[in-house]
Amino acid sequence: MARQIRIALRNCGVIDPERIEDYISRDGYMALATVLTELSPEAVIEILKKSGLRGRGGGGFPAGLKWEITRKVQADQKYVVCNADEGDPGAFMDRSILEGDPHAVLEAMTINGYCTGASKGLIYIRAEYPLAVERLKTAMKQSREMGLLGNNILQTGFNFDIDIRYGAGAFVCGEETALIHSMEGLRGEPTVKPPFPSVEGYLKKPTNVNNVETFANVPVIINKGWEWFASIGTEKSKGTKVFALAGKINNVGLVEVPMGTTLREVIYEIGGGIQGGKEFKAAQTGGPSGGCLTKKHLDTPIDYDNLIAAGSMMGSGGLIVMDEDDCMVAIAKFYLGFTVEESCGKCSPCRIGNKRLFELLEKITQGNGTMEDIDKLRNLSTVIKDTSLCGLGQSSPNPVLSTIENFIGEYHEHVKDKKCRSKVCKSMMQYLVVPEKCIGCTLCARNCPVNAISGERKQVHLIDQEKCIKCGACMEKCKFNAIIIN
Amino acid sequence: MKTIKLIIDGKTAEVPENTTLLKAAKTVGIDIPTLCYFELKDMNIENRPGGCRVCVVEVKGRRNLAPACNTMVAEGMEVYTHNIRVLNARRTVLELILSDHPAECLTCAKSGSCELQSMAQQLGVREIPYQGEQSKYRKDTSPAIIRDVDKCIMCRRCEMMCNDVQTVGALNAVNRGFMAVVAPAFEMNLEKSPCTYCGQCVSVCPTGALTEVDHSRNVINALADPAKTVVVQTAPAVRAALGEEFGLAPGTLVTGKMVAALRRLGFDYVFDTDFAADLTIMEEGTELLDRLTRYLKGDKDVKLPILTSCCPGWVNFFEHNFPEMREIPSTAKSPQQMFGPIAKEYFAKKLGINRKNMIVVSIMPCLAKKYECQRDEFKVDGDPDVNFSLSTRELAHLIKASNIDFSSLPEDDFDNPLGESTGASVIFGTTGGVIEAACRTAYELYTGKKLEKVDFKELRGLENVRHATIDFDGLPINIGIAHGLGNARKLLEDIRDGKSQFHAIEIMACPGGCIGGGGQPYHHGDSEVIKLRASALYREDAGKPIRKSHENPFILELYKDFLGKPCGEKSHHLLHTHYFDKSAGVFVEE
């Protein structure tokens, strides 16, 4: 764990999140005090811009620039929104921060309010995070009582308060325009940008939307200085990133590493290597709309730009490790299944295109695919990315494109040889009896739930492929290793 | 305003800032195809969700393709509307839409007017490479509108009309992803929703997902029944639009040919709803004067402003949304429903036949009329005053199916006595027309003087909400006019809040009035069509020898012979109605 640097997660597990005193004892609200008493909004924005902090929610837009744009728009009312609609399967960094260090987010939102000229903050959080909501409420109550939130904060005359808005867990509501519509009580679906929320957002007012992890970095940057923050990471990606390690890896969970750490370091040094000592095959980053990195990427420093160059993306920091037992076609299908469920249905390429992608992948994994289908996958993926309205559709074909790019051989095997080397795609598997090994004990036939196995006692048995449902019971029962998978 | 210079397909375009690429391209002769985009120019109606993605173009320097309908021009932009990347994307997107659309063109009610069909034609789609599951929904039939949402392409035009323009809120996108569709809340039937049957959703739907309930088969059966005397009435707006269905230019008046066609179809009597419109003016005008006179005498209980009540979509709207104000509109029935009892209680008796052996058919620019004629209060012992209401489109189909060459038809005249009408009744078909007709009559009845200037130009036009003050010989009468239910809502809210300064308000549910009705030939977003229809009606009015309802000799005879006096006992019984509180009628099952 030595390679980790904890900035966003600095207090998680260290302090009692329900005690504001614990937070304050670790420099909590010091940044806010500095900002309100010593710095102009422009100066704070300048610090943020120089720090190089980029949005941690997926897009990687420079945070300071976003704050500056929101500040410059003239309006009678502005809003600060914290995007806590964490929707990537397996990702839980936002939840951990909110549960473990809620004050960090409140403090940063207040600083943002001071910089952008907003007096109202809203946290959009999925209702499935009851503990995080509870802790946020407790934290808001405490900070109001201590004059750190509400009217006349720290006797400086600055007013800022925060409210919570609940999401129903729709993945697309992590997209900022969809999130805003959901908060307005409208259908959670995106609209064309521009106008960007910084110019026209919640209730048509300028709205600064940042992700939980982005906010969590802000107080530390103010306290320790932009030079310190900018010294961590790579040229264009500063600071750290929290990853949620999952999949076939020994140590699953959250890790926070400097930008530029290699995949090899994350997987083998921090993650403790692949489960069961098996061989690393790929790692999916960027959640369902990311792509997979392969062995050739193991030594690539992970940052925003390198991931995009590798056909994937940072996303919110999901990192799912796959080994030799994973079929990449099935993986692509799995992720498409997710996007098909989570598309809002507004634009045709995402609504229908992803469904068709999924169907093509299903056809291939069932052994009915053709080479033409692979071409269709390619064209459809390109068009969906090119024409979709929001980030969801613009990235949903990534798993398909990146598995085709990196594992075209597996696609060809599925299509031409009707074979799945990882033995995941059951439709293509055949359970066969090895005549030389079968002694005719009848055990397999008696255990077959669909009576697909025939054969006289002491005679070689035969599996009827039409009837076989590929449950594997015969192979499991056979004491002579006489049943194999073809 | 700042001018922006950009290059589209190598051509330099100069347009004002905040112009979309779509409109900028039009200025240099480039017509980018669109599907979900919809605009009724000068009427404040626009739909650009950027959802269908058919209009995507390449903007140099942008990572993705941009929707032309929803991307604003910028200085120095370089745009490509038909390079290989764009053409492939556009075609693939259309193929995807078609892959989730039932290929039922041969039997689809929208065939020939379907924008998806013409786009497939335009882009030369000959096969659909991306086959797969198609969404399946329950078909929903209401008294006026059929929702066949398997054909919905999520363009959201109906949603925009129903919510933004009409503020009815019956239709909205529900479900997500592949199952997303536009439907009433909880996917209830339309009949259980606050739908007013105005039919504006139907008039903008690019496909056959929303169509009218077709009653032409019932009419054919009635015409074939020798025991029935079949009478037809035609609404004013029909004659200004029917010709479009036969390739005539928008704004062509086809009154005579329409009468000839109806006669050939076998109707026993071809009458005019305009006659009933004159009757409406007599009743409603009298009611207005009565309320006004009482008000001027200091009666504080009198309800002013008086609201017109001839539009059934509007009646449904206030019954659902403002039931507490249902005493304010005029109690006069709509012309369609005035015609019914006059035909069945007066004319049938004259002919010596039982009302049950008379079938009254109406030809309407409207879908709400289908619902209106089915209302229980407009029936006598279960026999409706008006049996069937056909839309302008249904009539056109009926004519085509009956081997009638419309263009070579002679110009016939309506039958009498219920076919004679004045110019005042003709303009009922356009926004502002009813109130203008009422003013012509009310002025003369109130002042006892002859109205010299018959045209009230100040009441005409297409602005959403209009107001004018008419001088009734020293008495200023404040008139309000709204077309489109969203605009009506504003005026109603003013009345509710005690802010209304009007004496009389005319309201039409459809933008433009009946000429833009839900049963009219599809205008496909061309507001010029609506304007031309309006001017056709004003032209017909100007050419009429009699232009005031109270001078219609057959109306005068009807009162003398049968009704007595306007708002008298018989009129009250036959020509007036009452309204219901339907706010509770909208409920959620289970």
Structure confidence by residue, pLDDT tens digits, B205-236: 999 999 999 999 999 999 999 999 999 999 99
Whether B67 contacts B18, CB under 8 Å = no
- Give me the percent of chain A exceeding a pLDDT of 90: 91
C-alpha dihedral (A48, A54, A57, A61), degrees to nearest 10: 110
The residue assigned the tokens 């229809």 is: B533
* A212 and A254 belong to one structural domain: no
Whether A396 contacts A289, CB under 8 Å = yes
Whether A213 contacts A57, CB under 8 Å = yes
Q: Cα(A171)–Cα(A188) distance, rounded to whole angstroms?
A: 10
* A56 and A166 belong to one structural domain: yes
How far, in whole angstroms, is CA B17 from its chain's centroid? 34
Average pLDDT over residues B441-457: 93
Q: Does B72 touch chain A (CB under 8 A)?
A: yes
* A309 and A216 belong to one structural domain: no
Interface size A-B, in CB pairs within 8 Å, comes to 113
Q: What is the pLDDT of residue B405?
A: 97
Q: Is B284 a catalytic residue?
A: yes
Pairwise CB contact (< 8 Å): A191 & B72: no
For the purposes of burial, counting CB atoms within 10 Å of the CB of A249, is it exposed (0-12), middle (13-18) or buried (19 or more)?
buried
* A222 and A362 belong to one structural domain: no
Average pLDDT over residues B61-86: 97
Structure confidence by residue, pLDDT tens digits, B401-437: 999 999 999 999 999 999 999 999 999 999 999 999 9
Average pLDDT over residues B51-80: 97
* A443 and A477 belong to one structural domain: yes
Q: Please, what's the b/e burial string for B317-329 (b: 16 or more CB within 10 A of its CB; e: otherwise)? A: bbbbbbeeeeebb
Q: Cα(A386)–Cα(B317) distance, rounded to whole angstroms?
A: 43
Q: What is the CATH number of the domain that holds A410?
A: 1.20.1440.230
Average pLDDT over residues A406-433: 92
- Is the confidence at residue B587, as pLDDT, over 60? no
| Rounded (10°) angle between helices A130-145 and A102-116 | 60
Identify the band that residue A90 occupies on the pLDDT scale cut at 50, 70 and 90: confident
Identify the band that residue B589 occupies on the pLDDT scale cut at 50, 70 and 90: very low
Q: Is B158 a catalytic residue?
A: no
Pairwise CB contact (< 8 Å): A376 & B154: no
The structural domain count of chain A equals 4
Is A353 inside any structural domain? Answer: yes
Is A80 inside any structural domain? Answer: yes
The domain in which residue A136 lies consists of 20-230
Among A188, A211, A230, residue at a domain's last position: A230
Q: 10 Å Cβ neighbour count for A485?
A: 13
Q: 10 Å Cβ neighbour count for A274?
A: 20
The residue assigned the tokens 């960027």 is: A286
Whether A348 contacts B93, CB under 8 Å = yes
| Amino acid residing at A178 | A
The two beta strands, A120-126 and A158-167, are: parallel
**How many residues make up chain A in this entry?**
486
- Is the confidence at residue A3, as pLDDT, over 90? no
In terms of Cα–Cα distance, which of B243, B181, B281, B576 is closest to B395? B243
More confident residue, A222 or B41: A222
Is A471 inside any structural domain? Answer: yes
Identify the band that residue A85 occupies on the pLDDT scale cut at 50, 70 and 90: very high
Q: Angle at Cα A215 formed by Cα A212 and Cα A220, nearest 5°? A: 135
Q: Which residues contact A99 (CB under 8 A, 6 or more apart)?
A: A12, A17, A129, A131, A132, A135
- The runs of H, that is alpha helices, within A79-211 are 93-100, 102-116, 130-145, 176-183
* A189 and A317 belong to one structural domain: no
Among A230, A255, A275, residue at a domain's last position: A230
Among A323, A341, A360, residue at a domain's last position: A323
Is A1 inside any structural domain? Answer: no
**Option in A170, A340, A348 nearest B96 (CB):** A348
Sign of CA dihedral B507, B509, B510, B513: negative
In terms of Cα–Cα distance, which of B489, B482, B463, B506 is closest to B167? B489
Could you tell me the domains of chain B? 3-82 (3.10.20.740), 98-212 (3.30.70.20), 217-575 (3.40.50.1780)
Q: What is the pLDDT of residue A2?
A: 59
CA distance A347 to chain B (A): 4
Q: Is B205 a catalytic residue?
A: no
Tokens of A167: 């999401």
Q: Cα(A281)–Cα(A93) distance, rounded to whole angstroms?
A: 25
In terms of Cα–Cα distance, which of A7, A1, A48, A64 is closest to A242? A7
Whether B437 contacts B428, CB under 8 Å = yes
Q: What is the pLDDT of residue B588?
A: 46
Is A7 inside any structural domain? Answer: no
Pairwise CB contact (< 8 Å): B132 & A359: yes
Whether B528 contacts B516, CB under 8 Å = no
A197 vs A69, A116, B69, CA distance in Å? 10, 13, 20
A398 contacts in B (CB within 8 Å)? Answer: none
* A127 and A224 belong to one structural domain: yes
* A145 and A100 belong to one structural domain: yes
Tokens of A92: 């839980």
Tokens of A11: 């207090």
Ramachandran region, residue A313 (left: φ > 0; alpha: ψ -120 to 50; beta: rest): beta
Q: Does B53 touch chain A (CB under 8 A)?
A: yes
| Rounded (10°) angle between helices A212-224 and A93-100 | 60
How far, in whole angstroms, is CA B25 from its chain's centroid? 32
Pairwise CB contact (< 8 Å): A387 & B132: no
Q: Cα(A163)–Cα(A202) distance, rounded to whole angstroms?
A: 13
- Is the confidence at residue A159, as pLDDT, over 60? yes
Q: What is the CATH number of the domain that holds A101?
A: 3.40.50.11540
In terms of Cα–Cα distance, which of B158, B444, A409, B162 is closest to B149? B158
Whether A135 contacts A93, CB under 8 Å = no
* A86 and A160 belong to one structural domain: yes
Q: Please, what's the b/e burial string for A330-339 (b: 16 or more CB within 10 A of its CB; e: otherwise)? A: bbbbbbbebb
Q: What is the pLDDT of residue B96?
A: 98
Q: Which residues contact A368 (CB under 8 A, 6 or more apart)?
A: none
Q: Is the bond preceding residue B184 a cis peptide, omega within 30 degrees?
A: no
Q: Cα(B181)–Cα(B191) distance, rounded to whole angstroms?
A: 18
Structure confidence by residue, pLDDT tens digits, B174-193: 999 999 999 999 999 999 99
> First-to-last CA distance in chain B?
56
**Option in B88, B129, B177 nearest A376 (CB):** B129
Structure confidence by residue, pLDDT tens digits, A306-346: 998 988 888 888 999 999 999 999 999 999 999 999 999 99
* A121 and A86 belong to one structural domain: yes
Structure confidence by residue, pLDDT tens digits, B137-171: 999 999 999 999 999 999 999 999 999 999 999 99
Pairwise CB contact (< 8 Å): A389 & B154: no
Q: Cα(A212)–Cα(A132) distance, rounded to whole angstroms?
A: 12
Q: Cα(B497)–Cα(B515) distance, rounded to whole angstroms?
A: 31
Identify the band that residue A57 occupies on the pLDDT scale cut at 50, 70 and 90: confident
Q: Is B436 a catalytic residue?
A: no
Whether B4 contacts B75, CB under 8 Å = yes
More confident residue, B477 or A430: B477
B154 contacts in A (CB within 8 Å)? Answer: 345-346, 348, 351
Pairwise CB contact (< 8 Å): A355 & B133: yes
Tokens of B541: 């009015």
Q: What is the pLDDT of residue B586?
A: 54
| Amino acid residing at B93 | V
- Is the confidence at residue B579, as pLDDT, over 90? yes
Q: Is B439 a catalytic residue?
A: no
The residue assigned the tokens 């304007």 is: B531
Is A264 inside any structural domain? Answer: yes
Identify the band that residue B590 occupies on the pLDDT scale cut at 50, 70 and 90: very low
| Nearest chain A residue to B176, by CA | A344
Pairwise CB contact (< 8 Å): A187 & B132: no
**Option in B88, B96, B154 nearest A345 (CB):** B154
Is A3 inside any structural domain? Answer: no
Is A78 inside any structural domain? Answer: yes
The residue assigned the tokens 């969809």 is: A178
The strand pairing partners of A484, in sequence order, are A432
Average pLDDT over chain B, rounded to an integer: 95
Whether A408 contacts A209, CB under 8 Å = no
The two beta strands, B78-80 and B3-8, are: parallel
* A252 and A305 belong to one structural domain: yes
| Nearest chain A residue to B51, by CA | A347
For the purposes of burial, counting CB atoms within 10 Å of the CB of A298, is it exposed (0-12), middle (13-18) or buried (19 or more)?
middle
Tokens of B179: 């199952």
Whether B431 contacts B508, CB under 8 Å = yes
The strand pairing partners of B476, in sequence order, are B471
Q: Is B46 a catalytic residue?
A: no
Pairwise CB contact (< 8 Å): A348 & B88: no
Structure confidence by residue, pLDDT tens digits, A118-149: 999 999 999 999 999 999 999 999 999 999 99
* A189 and A222 belong to one structural domain: yes
